[in-house]
Amino acid sequence: MWRISTFRQIATCLAAVLVAVPAVASAEDLDAMSCRNGGFAGHETFQTAKIIGEGRAFLLEDMDGCPEAESCRQAGSPYLVSGDAVLVSRLRLDHACVYFPNKTGGSAGYVPLSRLRITGHDTVATAEKWLGKWSNYNNPAIAITRRNDGFHVTGDAFWPGRPGTHDYPSTNIGELNGRLRIFGNRARYNDGYCIVNFFLIGDFLIASDNFQCGGMNVRFRDVMTRAD
């Protein structure tokens, strides 16, 4: 028969093994720290800010251990300079996830909180501020107009890009065309299949869809600025 002391020895060994195994971040943990171009528009909250301070503010990666580790800044990392206007979403330790629009479709990454100054914006946007053309360098691109029955949105998105801009043998397309219901800084498009939620903050229009608004990989999930 095994003695109690034998069970205690086994339990001690198992505990030692569990301690020796490094903790692995769960999918939820990795999503909570995610800060990258394609997923930024799906974050929960947003603020507007400007970069402050001297020198370059590099956009740090969001991999496990980032943004604190030295390896989070890779060679050729994009960077911002004082005065650049950005969107701020989630916080991680002493850093914030920011998005900066540019001609390549925008860049996202972590920057130290000490390099950011929150700027003011209208907490309740007037209806007129929604009107006009918006895009992320023409993909996606939308137009919001006013009609007798309310607001209307039209738009299109392509993957991997608009025809003529890539060598891929085919192009997948998505389209919006219908009523846009606006409530303050938020709006919603719903044609019974495709649903897109919009959030207007400062000079940015953030769109987040339900993955059912076009062909494979086509998304209305992006940060857009005025196209005109």
pLDDT in the model for residue 170: 83
Q: How far apart are CA 184 and CA 9, in angstroms?
A: 64
Report field, pTM of the whole predicted structure over 0.85: no
Q: Are 97 and 193 in contact (CB under 8 A)?
A: no
2-53 pLDDT, tens digit per residue, is: 443 443 443 444 344 333 333 344 444 446 678 988 789 988 889 999 999 9
User: What is the spatial distance between Cα 85 and Cα 52, in angstroms, rounded to a whole number?
Assistant: 10
What pLDDT is attached to residue 189?
A: 98
User: How far is it, in rounded angstroms, from Cα 140 to Cα 174?
Assistant: 9
Tens of pLDDT, residues 114-140: 999 999 877 778 888 999 999 988 899
Per-residue pLDDT tens digits for 170-224: 899 999 999 999 999 999 999 999 999 999 998 899 999 999 999 999 999 999 9
Cα Rg, the chain, nearest whole Å: 23
